[in-house]
Amino acid sequence: MVRVKSSAVEREGAALGVLVTLESPTEPMRREALAAGFYEPSRFPGRRYPRLQLLTIAELLAGTRVQYPQLAPVATFKRAERQTIRRVRQERLEV
């Protein structure tokens, strides 16, 4: 699985890839992930991120995060305008 993910990262030209598993990765899996190397973004000289990261569901639920350069704030979507129930009902009547 790790080898397939690694080749997919290469094929797609992705900077990083993440494999999420239910069980802890085996030692051969960890070696294969390390063999994928590191991503070093030009905007952040000296910073390195594993190109292929192995995370378990338990780690994610415990708060472990994927390592990647955070170029933008977490909230990247525009917030919808807040509406009241009265306003929604009124708009429905106008249609």
pLDDT band (50, 70, 90) for residue 88: low
pLDDT for residue 76 = 54
How far, in Å, CA of 67 to CA of 38, rounded? 11
- State yes or no: pLDDT of 18 exceeds 60: yes
In tens, the pLDDT along 42-85 reads 888 889 999 999 999 999 999 999 998 876 555 556 677 777 77
Q: What is the 3 state secondary structure string of the chain?
A: CHHHHHHHHHHHCCCCEEEEECCCCCHHHHHHHHHCCEECCCCCCCCCEECEEEEEHHHHHCCCCCCCCCCCCCCCCCCCCCCCHHHHHHHHHHC
Model-level pTM?
A: 0.67
Domain boundaries in the chain?
A: 2-94
Percentage of the chain modeled with pLDDT above 90: 46
Q: How far is CA 40 from CA 34, 36, 52, 61, in A?
A: 14, 13, 13, 27
